[in-house]
Amino acid sequence: AAAQARLEAAIDRRLEARAVRRPARRVGGWLAAATSAAAVALVVLMLPLTPTPAIAFSQIQAHFRDFRTLRFDMTQSATGQETFAMRVSVTRDGKVRTDIGEDMSVVVNPVERRMLTIVHRERIAVEAPFEGAPEAGDGLEWLQEVRDFQGIATRLPDSRVIDGRLAYGWQLLAATVELELWATEDGLPLQMKMKGAGDVRFDFRFEFDVAFAPEVFSTAIPAGYSRGNAED
């Protein structure tokens, strides 16, 4: 979108002006990753109740659909090498915060229709209108396949211990996506592994009903940060 392009250009110019002594990193790539993370959160929330004979898997999906807050850590890897890691925090009413390492945070408030992008090292923050979910053709088609999945969830034969809890696995197959989801006996999701196109892999760790501080989802410019102007 034009607004996002202006936002990326404004941040790039501010970063160049600061002459940071490290290899240049394209902010547009971070914004794309943050947008992807927000889309992941929305997809997880809208996973349909699939027609499966196993009640336990329906319980897993119920946790994704009926929660107060959700936080998950996601790592992406390709050819066995981690490419980036992020933490995504979500509320029942749709607020999303994406923290990409210590470099950047993106807060999306769909109620206020506002988005705040915070570049921590350079201590700048850019406000922008929230224009909705990414459009088709932006590399997120595999997320749509997960959202529209109508197949059968297959129970895996083995169990494992995740964060001190006994977990049971389920496998879901879609056109280009393979999901492996691990949950407790009562259906609380703990971990999910996702295979994308080629060698791309995603790993998720879930926490439900986390007590977030109010400032986590604030779209106000943090103290000590300067305001960037997406229209510059």
Query: Tell me, what CATH number does 151's domain have?
Result: 2.50.20.10
Tokens of 90: 């979500």
CA dihedral 29, 93, 128, 213 (to 10 degrees): -80
Residue 187 near residue 170, CB atoms below 8 Å: no
Composition of the chain by helix, strand, coil, percent to 5? 25, 40, 40
- Residue 120 to residues 79, 85, 124, 172, 222, Cα–Cα distance (Å): 29, 16, 7, 38, 10
Q: Which two tokens stand for residue 79?
A: 């050819």
Scored b (16 or more CB within 10 A) or e, 3-23 reads ebebbbebbeebbeeeeeeee
What residue ranges of the chain have pLDDT lower than 50?
1-4, 6-7, 10-11, 14-15, 17-26, 47-55, 134-140, 142-144, 146-147, 232
Give the pLDDT confidence score for residue 38 in this predicted structure: 56
220 found inside a domain: no
CB 158 within 8 A of CB 149: no
- pLDDT value of residue 209: 93
pLDDT of residue 172: 83
For the packed helices 55-65 and 27-45, what is the interaxial angle rounded to 10 degrees? 130
Neighbours of 229 (CB within 10 A): 13
Residue 57's domain comprises 2-215
Phi, psi of 132, rounded to the nearest 5 degrees:
100, -175
Q: Which residues of 42-52 are buried (b: 16+ CB within 10 A; e: fewer)?
A: bbbbebeeeeb
Q: What is the DSSP letter of 38?
A: H
Convert the pLDDT of each residue in 11-30 to its tens digit.
455 445 444 444 444 455 55
In the prediction, which pLDDT does 6 show? 47
Query: Does residue 19 lie in a domain region?
Result: yes
For the chain, how many structural domains are there in total? 1
Output the pLDDT for position 42: 54
Whether 75 maps to a domain, the answer reads yes
Decide: pTM greater than 0.85: no
User: What is the predicted pLDDT for the residue at 151?
Assistant: 67
Q: In this structure, is residue 209 part of a structural domain? A: yes
Look up residue 111 and give its two tokens. Answer: 């109620």
Q: Are 18 and 232 within 8 A, CB to CB?
A: no
Flag whether 24 is in a domain: yes
Distance of CA 145 to the CA centre of its chain: 16
CA–CA distance, 167 with 190 (Å, rounded to integer): 8
Task: Give the length of the chain.
Answer: 232
Q: What is the dihedral of CA 129, 48, 86, 222, to 10 degrees?
A: 30
